[in-house]
Amino acid sequence: MTDETPKSPTVKARLPRGLADRGPAEIAATNRMMGAIRESYELYGFEAVETPFIEYTEALGKFLPDLDRPNEGVFSFQDDDEQWLSLRYDLTAPLARYVAENYDKLAKPYRSYRAGFVFRNEKPGPGRFRQFMQFDADTVGSASVAADAEICMMAADTLEKLGIKRGEYLIKVNNRKVLDGVLEAAGLEGEGRAAQKLIVLRAIDKLDRLGSDGVRLLLGPGRKDESGDFTKGAALTSEAIDKVMSYFADQAIYAELPFRNRLLSHAADPRFPGRALDNMAVLDVFEAAVGNSAIGREGVNELREMVELFEASGYGSSQIKIDATVVRGLEYYTGPVYEAELTFEVKDEHGRPVRFGSVGGGGRYDGLVARFRGEPVPATGFSIGVSRLFAALKALKSPIVSGAQTRGPVVVLVMDKDQIAAYQGFVTQLRNAGVRAELYLGSAGMNAQLKYADKRGSVCAIIQGSNEREKGEVVIKDLVAGAQVASAAKDMDRNEYLALKQRAQFAVPAAGLVDAVKDVLGRY
């Protein structure tokens, strides 16, 4: 049949842009990480649910992740009955469809978690994939902020369970109602002000990067950056700007300091003892900032209730922190919003400090299920970006993702092709004893077979040539000891050297194969 094979390649083997293959070590480590998250979520009473990758486009709705391109970003195709289908771009819209479709049979409030790939039809870039994994948890059917508080505590527990220590992360919490209240107090009410509000929210989001002077410019006339590019401002009066900035009293203390992590390290930063505000004090600042705004006061009270729940459960401001700068991009949030941020720094390959920043976030959304049901269905949920979290755990050398590299299987060499059934018999004996083992299946000679075993990371190779066969023996090569022999120092003690050589290769009766292999595997 091989003569039908084309002599020159007809198709180039290439992964489409923005997609990734994964090998065994990464798959195993990711699975361990996902398993730990799952355990943590189940302890909180969340149960697994899975929806398919494809939904009707209309069911995914207009809740797209990018405010600036609300109708882009989704892979879509038409069904045979001309209805549009799309690959899901997150796990929230499909959950809303699932809950609406199965509303009566679900016990409510309904806590669920699900993990899976989502797809974005976007220009890929470094760290920007078109297929990536999310791990979500949502509570549907509870209007109580106890549901939001629970998810924040669960996020903290989960990060710690994954090996991220207290002080290396912060769950940052805010409330959309407080943001609305601050804008209202600053005179930014009414539909006509929507564009201005958006500019203000984006400015708030940049406090960490630009400091308070930069944000003041964005709230007022606008700001020219170092490259000379001009960003239009919100054109607030200086009174209104003061009002908005008063809301950042907690952050403003650090806003001009010349280090990047000021917003995150303050809670326990020894350089500024006593200067960081605890959660209840931050809420007093918020209360002043929202003034008489009813929606603002409602938001502050909700956050106060959440802080009481955190304290009753022993979660302090060094784990879960009320934070004025948390905005969250998604339009559909209606109440508390939260973000899981990693606060430690690592060095990249060039020795530069890198921070992972946000590895997950979420908030309260009350409109998603209502689209299907015509009645309000309160909900709140949290989504982890699995690959970013995975990269962070790698950087932290968390044992969950950096467990010892698995050794390769034992390789039984094929010395004489007509003896292949006997070699297969050795392999089967090892497998029956629970030892991972394989027959060499290629056509190369002995040296190439041993190289193959090395490349597989095998500890042990089994050899039986005609000499051994006549004596009823097999030779066992310990490849780890073999490598030590090869690299042994010239002045190594002779007896030690001989002992090492003896360990590296020895013969046993064929009947003793399994025991001898287990001995060798036990050495490492």
| Distance of closest approach, residue 37 Cβ to a second copy, in angstroms | 14
Which lies closer to a second copy via its Cβ, residue 258 or residue 374? Answer: 374
Q: Which residue has the tokens 């203390």?
A: 253
Pairing of strands 437-439, 410-412: parallel
Helices 145-161 and 294-312: crossing angle in degrees, nearest 10, is 50
Nearest to a second copy of 187, 376 (CB atom): 376
Cα distances (Å, whole numbers) of residue 505 to 119, 474, 517: 52, 11, 12
Structure tokens at 14: 């290439």
Please give the backbone phi and psi of residue 109, each rounded to the nearest 5 degrees, phi first: -55, 140
DSSP H or E run through 149: helix 145-161
- In the complex with a second copy, which residue's Cβ is closer, 25 or 198? 25
Nearer to a second copy, 129 or 356 (CB): 129
Q: Which is nearer to a second copy, 351 or 442 (CB)?
A: 442
**Least distance from a second copy to the Cβ atom of residue 339, Å:** 20
Q: Which is nearer to a second copy, 218 or 474 (CB)?
A: 474
Residue 45 beta carbon to a second copy: minimum distance, rounded to whole angstroms:
4
Contact call for residues 324 and 281 (beta carbons, < 8 A): no
CB of 273 to a second copy, least distance (A): 29
Give the Cα separation of 119 and 114 in Å (integer): 15
Shortest Cβ 374–a second copy spacing (Å): 4
Asked whether 338 and 151 are in contact (CB, 8 A), the reply is yes
The sheet that has 320-322: what strands, in order across it?
47-48, 110-119, 131-140, 379-385, 353-365, 333-347, 169-175, 320-322
Supply the minimum distance, in Å, between the C-beta of residue 275 and a second copy.
28
457: left (phi over 0), alpha (psi -120 to 50) or beta: left
Which of 149, 218 has the CB closer to a second copy? 149
DSSP three-state, residue 352: coil
Nearer to a second copy, 111 or 216 (CB): 111
Q: Partners of 340 in the beta sheet? A: 171, 360
CB of 91 to a second copy, least distance (A): 13
Single out the residue of 218, 281, 271 nearest to residue 250, CA to CA: 281
Q: Given the complex with a second copy, which of 47 and 213 has the nearer CB atom?
A: 47
285 vs 263: CA distance, rounded Å = 16
CB closer to a second copy, 238 vs 313: 313
- Cβ neighbour number for residue 161 with a 10 Å cutoff: 14
Backbone phi, psi, residue 341, to 5°: -120, 135
Nearer to a second copy, 96 or 481 (CB): 96
C-alpha separations of 69 from 18, 62, 66, 440 in Å: 19, 11, 6, 54
For a second copy, the closer CB: 246 or 419: 419
Rounded to 5°, the CA angle 420-421-424 comes to 85
Distance between CA 358 and CA 348 in Å, rounded?
17
Q: What is the DSSP string of 311-329?
A: HHTT--TTTEEE-TT---S
Question: End-to-end CA distance of the chain, in Å?
Answer: 45
In whole angstroms, the minimum distance from the beta carbon of 86 to a second copy comes to 10
CB of 352 to a second copy, least distance (A): 29
The distance of closest approach from Cβ of residue 198 to a second copy in the complex, given in angstroms and rounded to an integer, is 17
DSSP code per residue over 62-102: T--S-TT-TT-B--EEE-TTS-EEEE-SSSHHHHHHHHHHT
Q: Largest Cα–Cα distance in the chain?
A: 98
Supply the minimum distance, in Å, between the C-beta of residue 266 and a second copy.
Answer: 26
Q: Least distance (Å) from a second copy to the CB of residue 396?
A: 24
Beta carbon of residue 239, minimum distance to a second copy (angstroms, whole number) = 28
Report CA torsion sign: 88, 91, 95, 98. positive
**Of 69 and 260, CB closest to a second copy:** 69
Beta bridge partners of 223: 231
- Residue recorded with tokens 């698995």: 406
